[in-house]
Structure 1
Amino acid sequence: MKTYLPIIFLLLSFTGFAQDLRKSISINQNWSFAKDADHKGIKSISKWQQVNLPHTWNAFDTMDDEPGYYRGIGWYKKRINLNQAWKTKSMYLYFEGANQETEVYLNGVKIGDHLGGYTAFTIPLRSAKFNGADEIEVKVNNRHNEDIAPLTGDFTFFGGIYRNVSLLVLDQVHFVDDQYASNGVFVRAEKVSKQQASVVVNGNFINRANTVQQLTIATLLSTNDGKKIGEAKMQVSARLNQAIAFELPEIVISKPNLWSPSQPYLYNTTTRIIHTKTGKILDEVKTSVGCRFFSFDAAKGFFLNGEPYKLIGASRHQDFAGMGNAVPNHLQVNDVKLLKEMGGNFLRVAHYPQAQAVLDACDRLGVLTSVEIPIVNEITESEAFSNNCKQMQVEMIKQNYNHPSVIIWAYMNEVLLKMRHQKDPNRKLIYLNNIALLAQRLEDLTRATDPTRYTMMSNHGDVNGYVNAGLVKIPQLVGWNLYQGWYGGKSEDFGPNLDKIHAQIPDKPLLVTEYGADVDPRLHSSAAIRFDKSLEYGMLYHQIYINDILKRPFVAGAFAWNLSDFSSETRSETMPHVNNKGLLTLDRKPKNTFYLYKAYFNPKPYVKIGDGSWNWRGATTLDQPLQVFSNASEVTLFVNGKSLGKKDVLAHITNWNVSFKHGKNEIKAVAWVNGVKIEDQSVIDFKLFPHQFKQHLPFHSIHILMGSKRQFIDPKQHSIWLPSQLYENGSWGNIGGEPFKVKSTSRQSYGTDSNIKGTANDPIYQTQLVGLDGYQLDVPKGKYEVTLHFAELMGNGIQSMLPYNLDSLIAVDKIIPEQRIFDVYLNDKLIINDLNLAATHGVAKSVVKKFECLVADDKGLKLLFKGIQGKPVLNALEVKRIN
């Protein structure tokens, strides 16, 4: 059975005009900041740093090699000059976000506080001196607090005042929502259809003037070009300090322009408080209004304005490279533009409410959204935790109510992932019951606060666990975070798994709220496998998922995890402290997976040469694969001016085998869509490495990864690291040795994903050959620089205090590996004596040894490894001709 939810929503805008109405004054500039790690208080601080807001103190310590990041107290202070004319006004400090416990002081006296890091809050400013000496002091603490969500999560909990701060200057009579920091004006729609919509405005205002006020509350509704549609008004008598709730009569729109992603039409409204006798406007809130109706059906998916509509998009975290979460609005808006560019019509705002600028952009550009509070992985069974969650939920709804883009309120994500009390079944059952109790309270609260949207929880793949806990029955929608082919199983399992979930829970609308695979754009493989982080594996993964999603009507929507890479300080991986599942990099450069989505979902004619982020390539053969993405039916490819002919586009991709030349290659792809020619051009600089040195290629250098099946591209050095090969006469390669593999794990078939200290190029050191006898390169005569790269991945029996990562640095069966000591010879000369990597340098630490060697005969370069104790290892090798 379908439930239709008609709706019209408003956008918040603090804009005034000539009658000196509400002012919103940015006070982002010129703050002083200092940490208070010892909890001694602001008076103990002698050294301050000058900063502007938004600001976080974790922009850089989350990305270094030291585990952990500063989670504690930071103080901000700022001197403000208040206009004498404002003495008769009401003033508030408006914080759009500070993480996560905040106390605000005025001239040393506490005037307010807030718990929670992702919703806005206002602090009344009522004891100012107005003499130029007023000082605001703000104490922010991002410590772990068992009573505040999130408790844990695969993202970084940046501290600081990381969103904008404003001074609101209002008349003594003004719209207000002191408790939840909205603007106090809300709109709902009733009886919305293609023929008609009824708009009802309600809200709250307060009279702080010292007399009874005779007031008129009025809303004017107009088209986006200013033509009046109608107005509603009511008269009210307000006593001193009386807060009054109001609801205006409905305004009817005939044959409304319905808001949708393809046509995000916005009407305009102005809601005012007017002094009835004088006609003076005391307060005004201008908004934009979008009209639409929608429904979810368990069997048929999602419907928008009465038409079936597949929701496709991505989730988003708010941080950016080099900035942490202190990201200016223009970059946040650009994320929405990028999502729209790739053809997305939905943004899952995860795992917490984000800046108003994001939802403003979604309203304006036409992107449907869900918003959720950060109950992630687990809960605390305390009244304080429950109350904070309920406060967050209402703050989220009230502050974001006036956005036509929002269609879903959510409140839990993978809440059974970090299960507590595993060894005590009875206590575990109590914990599960308390999760269900909190979920039901949040569900009831959400439906009572805003019955016009749907509710949702997102669960991880333990379907039976959530069913048995009763959690799938509580929300109106269930999202599933599914990673077949990544954290377990095969990508081909995804579609059948969807069918099983739908069969098990046939009466509940289903969305795929997360799916993805790590893609490090520096890594490439001709034999891509799970967990190699290569671009090629990510492409195969997303192709399978997209096709399985599109062929199932009961999948109402699916949202890739994630729109962009994001910070996760506790992760290691090939880019430590970064979750690489984004379709964009952390600094928002598109990966090929982004181009794939654009070919599938952007309706505009499109053709794109793949490997646009990989225009520095190399191999030992000129024949290489190249992909072209398009929504045309066929594509013609030109390489260095020569046509390779036409190919049909299958699943929005054409695959080509291109014979590159050594050096720069000009590539052009041409397609025709409805008689219109479209094309894309790229220049790929290709480096041919010798397979046999007798090929008489000019030899300058070679970079080789040991025990690897993938290439690594170092974009800063323009170096290409090739996987090693077995030595053949006249060529280059290893003699003996086996690829390093973590024991007792199915996570990856070679190498480790541990953080290698001392380098930003971790993939160079995350694979190695173990027990190799030697390495031979039959280079021509000349002088060479030979660089050996080592990192101990297994530890030893000496340094018992090393912080082992038991998932990847040593075998998961916790066997302590034997000590490793070996010598290295270069052309029969001892160059490294008694090398004990772990004892000398520690585990997972990059070690570089550089030597020069003259080759005066036809025997080339030969490295010999002789074990003294344990097996010798080598992680990577560089050979460079000096002159």
Structure 2
Amino acid sequence: MKRTILFLSFLLVATCCCSGVFAQQRRLHTDGPRVAYDLSVHWAFIKDPKDTGKMPGTFAGWTDVKIPHTWNAYDVMDDKPGYYRGAGWYKLDLAMQRDWKDKHLFLCFDGANQEAEVYVNGKKAGTHIGGYSRFVIPISSYLKFNKGKSINQIAVKINNRFNESIAPLTADFTFFGGMYRSVQLLVADPVHFDGTKYGADGVYISTPKVSAKEAEISVKGTIKNETKLSKLITIVTQVYSPSGEKLNTTSTKAVIPVGDLFSFNQELPKLADPELWSPDKPALYRVITQIADGETGVVIDQLTNRIGLRWFRFDANEGFFLNGKHLKLMGASRHQDYAGMGNAVPASLQIRDLELLKSFGGNFLRVAHYPQDPAILAACDRLGILASVEIPVVNEITETEAFYQNCKTMQEEMIWQNYNHPSIIVWGYMNEVLLKMHFKDDKPRQDQYITHVAELARALESLTRAADPSRYTMIANHGDFNLYTRAGLTKIPMLLGWNLYQGWYGGTLADFGKNLDNMHKQQPDKPFIVSEYGADADPRIHSFKTERFDKSVEYAVEYHQVYLNDILKRPFVAGGAAWNLSDFNSESRAESMPHINNKGLLTLDRRPKNTYYLYQATLLDRPYVQIGLDGQELVGTASKGDENGSQQIQVFSNLPELELFLNAVSQGKKTVTDHMASWNVPFVDGANRLGVVGIANGQKVGDTTTVHVKLQPYELSSSVLPFREIAISSGDPRYVRDNKRVVWFPDQPYRSGSYGFVGGTPFKMKDSNRQKFGTDKDILGTYNDPIYQTQDVGLESYKLDVPDGSYLLTLHFAELLGEASNSSLPYNLDANVRKEVKESRVFDVFMNGEPLLKNVDLSKKPGNARPLVKDFKLKVKKGAGIELTFKAITGSPVLNGIQLKKIN
């Protein structure tokens, strides 16, 4: 690739030599004399798998990229285990403006995962460790200012390799590599606010005392004098009301010696009758802090912050209080990645996530498991969403001083970079840290490891309370209450988070409320929130005979109904954060949608699931009615001798009673229970108009939609409703939609006149107490894993009593045994590594007595956990229908799916 040159000026016109076009660069913002420029375009990128320590010197292999950028947007979704974890280089050529020679310039990185080295003109200007915090690199001393155009090369090496000294070590999310958040060039005066040590701005605002009658505001910060003379300055702070009225001004004079880092404190005049910040009314005051030349009065640096005036507390028995009023904290946790983008997500989409949380009635965000884009907390401030933030100490630690020190630095960065946000009420620093336990075969050594975990927790607790005594501290633990109590981790933080999954990874839904009561009874003096809870909800899977771990949206709705009710009715539970706001990438996961954790209330591309509608119906304070359909396509089976076919429809509402209409005909009224009502609706084949109505305050409130239904005839040879096509997922009690939007029917025992299996049993994993059918193995080479993860085993035949005619028959197979499963991931809380028995199976398939497939050996072709698809054109004559018979040669015959389509 040819070199890319960026000419920065106050108009910021850039020339890209690679394409010969002109592009306008964006000035991000001006805060007084301080100017930040967006450095998002005209970067070149190359991977460095050998990690030679030197930037590749040739043009070959470099590609044009825009920031934010990750090199893992796609390899985390392929069938090859693992993803690129190594070094990558970014480079950008800048042309300096002459009058910047007397300024001080900084490169500001909002996030780069996870080790960064920054070079300017070939010299190392700075480094940073940790993938989730902002860092600022001073670059003035490395720049060239020649006559004419001074070209300066910026090179950034990023590495997302495993490093035992850097958290997180392991986790149920993907460690995307790259310069995945925005990068800015900051141009400031030599005398400026300084926060380079922790990547902060350098001005920190607190509200020591707030009440309904008055509020105190304190401002502290650091100023750096990088001139060659001592400098007389005036520090001026102005406070503006939420409506923009100037309320007061405070000034402080100081002399800063050459090269000195000066700290200051200002106590501002008390504000009478403050407008309080809350989720209902997130009133934000504007605080402008300036450095003025002490002799001329000219402002030489300025920072603007928006703050909220509020007070809060947690109580072990009564929960959370904001501004003296009880408030149940209800919301979700959030991961930062997005479909097709990895973690390189523009700020607009990140802000949209917060709008979606607010739209379901949420007032709380757990920023998990790491600090996220600065736009997130700014949106929380503006929208009125309370937040907790944490560093990525997840699953386990390394017992080294380097690991401890990096954790402490991450905690400091998190606190000081986000200190001024009124939305933050909790600083966290560990998540399920005893989940991946070390030294399982050495009890004394394991006890020593647990002691070291507790020592790190106490160090982070002490650091946090010293830095910010105004907020609470939290550790989020998985559900092993006794383990965390024995380790002493339940005594260290001010607030406990419990990640609870009764009814999912283990136990039953009925266990959840009992568990809450028991934990409170055993530790009555410690406030807590349910910091995680959730169940997979694959939007392609539906079931009206739900069971744990079936991955259906319907089971997830039942799960969240129980959890919402039990959290809301217990005052001592301060709140709950659903896991998760949206689906997110976890490269090491298999399950029904490989590489995706499906517990989100929204899909990875932020489409609502029925669970999202349940939260709206539960938490919104306005009348709400929503028909819960994932897409507008359904299938069903017609009633005997009828053209209508019954299918269940769920409606979510906060009204007491609803009436459903199908094509303008009432289907009756239903009482809303746990914010949901359901009907078995007699749809007709084709388009159906649905409407639902309730009464709120004497007014009708409702929802309407058109549903397209494909009905199977009760008798496949029926003349009332002619047979057209069917897809059947063998060994599966669920409805499954594939990537071509074909909906696969549940399997069934053979019924005369219809379809079904004869003999055999549904496949079930051995040594698993999670799933009652199917496997969670990744089926390679298909997007439709659920179709191949279930099968009938040892069946004698499969019958379809279709009328005479020409058909396209498609048979689907996959070998689910014979290859050891992946090691159990730590989030599978009940699982052990499964040792699968290798089973040799070879079989023949016949159709109406004629050979169809001979010597099928799935382990050889296509190989284990790979789909085999076979198409056949055939004719049915003399009312014989279709009977597939299976003859075992070795082992047991299997069948994963059948499609049959009538053709002309």
Measured against the shorter chain, the TM-score band is over 0.9
Alpha-carbon displacement from aligned partner over 1:503-550 (angstroms, at most 9, x marks no partner): 111110011000000000110111100010001100110101111111
Question: Which residue is equivalent to 1:706?
Answer: 730
Q: Measure, in 2, the Cα distance between the counterparts of 1:255 and 1:137.
A: 52
Is residue 341 of structure 1 aligned with residue 356 of structure 2?
no
**Secondary structure of 1:149's match?**
coil
Question: Which residue is equivalent to 2:24?
Answer: none
The 3 A distance-change label for structure 1 pair 156 and 675 is same
Alpha-carbon displacement from aligned partner over 1:696-715 (angstroms, at most 9, x marks no partner): 2222110001111111012x
Alpha-carbon displacement from aligned partner over 1:148-174 (angstroms, at most 9, x marks no partner): 000000000000000000000000111
Deviation for aligned residue 1:813: 6.1
Q: Measure, in 2, the Cα distance between the counterparts of 1:774 and 1:620.
A: 25
Question: Which residue is equivalent to 1:666?
Answer: 689
The 10-residue stretch of structure 1 (179-188 or 821-830) with the greater mean CA deviation from structure 2? 821-830
Give structure 2 stretches of 5+ with no counterpart.
1-26, 640-644, 826-830
After TM superposition, the structure 1 = structure 2 runs for residues 58-69 of structure 1, keeping only pairs within 5 Å, are 58-69=72-83
Question: Which residue is equivalent to 1:110?
Answer: 124
Alpha-carbon displacement from aligned partner over 1:817-864 (angstroms, at most 9, x marks no partner): 331101111222212111110122221111111111111220011111
Query: Which among 762, 765, 788 is matched to residue 788 of structure 2?
Result: 765
Is residue 451 of structure 1 aligned with residue 469 of structure 2?
yes
Is residue 91 of structure 1 aligned with residue 96 of structure 2?
no
Is residue 402 of structure 1 aligned with residue 420 of structure 2?
yes
Is residue 864 of structure 1 aligned with residue 869 of structure 2?
no
Question: Which residue is equivalent to 2:42?
Answer: 30
After TM superposition, the structure 1 = structure 2 runs for residues 40-59 of structure 1, keeping only pairs within 5 Å, are 40=52, 41-43=54-56, 46-59=60-73
Question: Which residue is equivalent to 2:609?
Answer: 591
Alpha-carbon displacement from aligned partner over 1:683-732 (angstroms, at most 9, x marks no partner): 11111112312322222110001111111012x42311011111122221
| Amino acid across the alignment from 2:168 | P
Q: Measure, in 2, the Cα distance between the counterparts of 1:248 and 1:832.
A: 84
Is residue 72 of structure 1 aligned with residue 86 of structure 2?
yes
**Secondary structure of 2:519's match?**
helix
Alpha-carbon displacement from aligned partner over 1:790-819 (angstroms, at most 9, x marks no partner): 000011xxxxxx5643669x9966353331
Alpha carbons 2:817, 2:836 under 8 Å: kept: no
Q: Measure, in 2, the Cα distance between the counterparts of 1:472 and 1:813.
A: 33
| Amino acid across the alignment from 1:129 | K
Question: Which residue is equivalent to 1:688?
Answer: 711
Q: Measure, in 1, the Cα distance between the counterparts of 2:65 and 2:91.
A: 10
The 3 A distance-change label for structure 1 pair 614 and 506 is farther
Alpha carbons 1:818, 1:870 under 8 Å: kept: yes
Alpha carbons 1:737, 1:773 under 8 Å: kept: yes
**Secondary structure of 1:695's match?**
coil
Alpha carbons 1:92, 1:125 under 8 Å: kept: yes
Alpha carbons 1:521, 1:613 under 8 Å: kept: no
The 3 A distance-change label for structure 1 pair 151 and 836 is same
Question: Which residue is equivalent to 2:4?
Answer: none
Alpha carbons 2:637, 2:711 under 8 Å: kept: yes
Deviation for aligned residue 1:635: 1.8
Is residue 354 of structure 1 aligned with residue 378 of structure 2?
no
The 3 A distance-change label for structure 1 pair 807 and 477 is closer
Is residue 745 of structure 1 aligned with residue 768 of structure 2?
yes
**Secondary structure of 2:267's match?**
coil
Q: Measure, in 2, the Cα distance between the counterparts of 1:105 and 1:803.
A: 46
| Amino acid across the alignment from 2:348 | H
Query: Which among 635, 647, 672 is matched to residue 670 of structure 2?
Result: 647
Question: Which residue is equivalent to 2:205?
Answer: 187
Q: Measure, in 2, the Cα distance between the counterparts of 1:457 and 1:208.
A: 41
Alpha-carbon displacement from aligned partner over 1:452-489 (angstroms, at most 9, x marks no partner): 10000000011000000000000000000000000000
Alpha carbons 1:743, 1:812 under 8 Å: kept: no
Alpha carbons 1:200, 1:251 under 8 Å: kept: no
**Secondary structure of 1:99's match?**
coil
* TM-score normalised by the chain length of structure 2: 0.94
| Amino acid across the alignment from 1:136 | I
**Secondary structure of 1:444's match?**
helix
Is residue 531 of structure 1 aligned with residue 549 of structure 2?
yes
Query: Which among 280, 296, 299 is matched to residue 298 of structure 2?
Result: 280
* TM-score normalised by the chain length of structure 1: 0.96
**Secondary structure of 2:207's match?**
strand
Alpha carbons 1:97, 1:118 under 8 Å: kept: yes
Q: Measure, in 2, the Cα distance between the counterparts of 1:599 and 1:613.
A: 19
| Amino acid across the alignment from 1:471 | L
- Let me know the Cα RMSD of the aligned residues: 1.5
Q: Measure, in 1, the Cα distance between the counterparts of 2:870 and 2:881.
A: 20
| Amino acid across the alignment from 2:536 | D
Query: Which among 822, 825, 828 is matched to residue 805 of structure 1?
Result: 822
Q: Measure, in 2, the Cα distance between the counterparts of 1:806 and 1:434.
A: 26
Alpha-carbon displacement from aligned partner over 1:4-39 (angstroms, at most 9, x marks no partner): xxxxxxxxx98436x6x0001010111100111122
**Secondary structure of 2:195's match?**
coil
Alpha-carbon displacement from aligned partner over 1:350-399 (angstroms, at most 9, x marks no partner): 00000010111000000000000000000000000000000000000000
Percent same amino acid at aligned positions?
A: 52
**Secondary structure of 1:237's match?**
strand
Alpha carbons 2:820, 2:835 under 8 Å: kept: no
Is residue 300 of structure 1 aligned with residue 318 of structure 2?
yes
Q: Measure, in 2, the Cα distance between the counterparts of 1:859 and 1:784.
A: 13
| Amino acid across the alignment from 2:388 | S
| Amino acid across the alignment from 2:110 | E
Deviation for aligned residue 1:242: 1.1
The 3 A distance-change label for structure 1 pair 836 and 500 is same
Q: Measure, in 1, the Cα distance between the counterparts of 2:832 and 2:300.
A: 70
Deviation for aligned residue 1:675: 3.2
The 3 A distance-change label for structure 1 pair 124 and 236 is same
Question: Which residue is equivalent to 1:788?
Answer: 811
Is residue 368 of structure 1 aligned with residue 382 of structure 2?
no
**Secondary structure of 2:350's match?**
helix
Give structure 1 stretches of 5+ with no counterpart.
1-12, 796-801
Question: Which residue is equivalent to 1:101?
Answer: 115
Deviation for aligned residue 1:222: 1.1
Q: Higher RCO, 1 or 2 (CA under 8 Å, sep at least 6)?
A: 1
Deviation for aligned residue 1:668: 1.1
Alpha carbons 1:15, 1:285 under 8 Å: kept: no
The 3 A distance-change label for structure 1 pair 523 and 620 is farther
Question: Which residue is equivalent to 2:858?
Answer: 837
**Secondary structure of 2:458's match?**
helix
**Secondary structure of 2:530's match?**
strand
How many pairs does the alignment contain? 861
Is residue 129 of structure 1 aligned with residue 144 of structure 2?
yes
